[in-house]
Amino acid sequence: MSATTATVHNFNAGPSILPKTVFEQASAAVLNFNNSGLSILEFGHRTPEFTAVMEEARSLVKELMALDDAHEVLFLHGGASTQFMQVPMNLLDAKDSAAYTDTDIWGYKAIKEAKFFGKVDVVCSSREKNYSFIPKDFAVPNDAKYLHITTNNTIYGTQWQKIPHCSNNLVADMSSDIFSRQMDFNKFDLIYAGAQKNMGPAGVNLVIVNKNILGKIKRPIPTMMDYRNHINEGSMLNTPPVFAVYVCLLTLRWLKSMGGVAAVEKGNNEKAALLYKAIDESEYFIGTAAKEDRSKMNVCFIMKDASREAGFLQLAKSAGIVGIKGHRTTGGFRASIYNAMPISSVQVLVDAMREFEKDNRP
Ligand SMILES: *Cc1c(COP(=O)(O)O)cnc(C)c1O
């Protein structure tokens, strides 16, 4: 068999690029998992082989994020959007209030879900300014049960460079920047992330929870929604998404082999710097996020003359670039440059931008 497809540079926002070695290993396991003669797709989740996969994935998350023993790692169904409801269901009684930051469509959706369970105090918002910046000056009421932030705003390309300091429990949606940068992750009491942006395929959700914050509310919680049941069963309360968890494990192994979060962070900084420099030097392209809040994962930009956008997309396509069309709510362009994206692909995009400028000079 010979591969005849040309090189494709995948800038999709999610599901998105994963390391090539992960695809190769995942493909091999679809045919023959662990030399068992069975496909991973037909493999029992209660077997010692799969239990080992789940345990290694959970312990690699702990290791790569340097989590302490109070923090439990779970792989759950339902995507990040289910966490919008599961978080308040577990942490918020009807009389309580929680503090939320409104910095993207995703945070906005999380607010809507939390209102089903308790009171929501929106402590800051950049909605009026098209979510182009991260609010800096805001106060969190002491009695708020937790503060919820979205660390990286996938659609508008902003990112919290400094995690707000507060005495409340801290909850973060890290769907689009998990494992991309170093932080003290033990500061967070609950972290969740849909896998399909930076750690695996769609269909599984990483949840990290400080077990000491659970069991403090009066509401009865349905079995599948109660984090404690998942912790007690080693993240195997029911059939987990076996294949998705396996592919996450392969990505986590890759991440460790690359030198861990610190090493990929360095690469992510270089990729983002290269692309933002091209935008800032350009007379055609304009970055849409406030400079100090720019995301290193999702780079959003527009063209001064919007009528030329289609022309640039055409040129990009011929260079093998896919997935740079902006979100349906924003227009323009968005280049997602997650962990697995090589800097050479970012260079191809930068070259295409420069070529377009040169060819279109008046
Ligand atoms: C993609 C995304 C979501 C939604 O994830 P689903 O898995 O589709 O529910 C939520 N939050 C952020 C920050 C995202 O990037």
Q: What distance in Å separates the CA atoms of residue 71 and residue 186, rounded to the nearest whole number?
A: 8
User: 297, 337 in Cβ contact below 8 A?
Assistant: yes
Domains of the chain with CATH codes? 22-257 (3.40.640.10), 260-359 (3.90.1150.10)
pLDDT band at residue 259 using 50, 70 and 90 as cut-offs: very high
Centre of ligand 1 from the C-alpha of residue 175, in Å: 6
Q: Give, using CA atoms, the residue closest to atom 12 of ligand 1.
A: 175
Q: What confidence score (pLDDT) does residue 229 get?
A: 98
Question: pTM of the predicted model, to two decimals?
Answer: 0.97
Query: Ligand 1 pocket check: which of 101, 154, 158 to mutate, most ligand atoms within 8 Å of Cβ?
Result: 154
Helix (H) or strand (E) holding 261, with range, is helix 260-281
Ligand 1 site, CB within 6 A: 14, 79-81, 106, 150, 154, 173, 175-176, 194, 197
How confident is the model over 198-208, as pLDDT tens digits?
999 999 999 99
User: Tokens at residue 68, please?
Assistant: 């302490």
pLDDT band at residue 6 using 50, 70 and 90 as cut-offs: confident
Q: What confidence score (pLDDT) does residue 2 get?
A: 47
Which residues are known catalytic residues?
106, 173, 197
Q: Which atom of ligand 1 is nearest to the CA of 176?
A: 15
How confident is the model over 63-86, as pLDDT tens digits?
999 999 999 999 999 999 999 999
pLDDT band at residue 231 using 50, 70 and 90 as cut-offs: very high
> Any bridge partners for residue 321, and if so which?
9
- Residues with Cβ within 8 Å of 123's Cβ and at least 6 positions away in sequence, in order, are 99, 100, 101, 138, 139, 140, 141, 144, 147
Query: Ligand 1 pocket check: which of 108, 176, 300 to mutate, most ligand atoms within 8 Å of Cβ?
Result: 176
Look at residue 195 and give its three-state secondary structure: coil
Q: Which atom of ligand 1 is nearest to the CA of 150?
A: 13
Look at residue 173 and give its three-state secondary structure: strand
If you average pLDDT over residues 190-219, what whole number do you get? 97
Sign of the torsion angle spanned by Cα atoms 35, 40, 41, 47: positive
Query: Ligand 1 pocket check: which of 16, 75, 77, 81 to mutate, most ligand atoms within 8 Å of Cβ?
Result: 81
Longest CA pairwise span in the chain (Å): 68
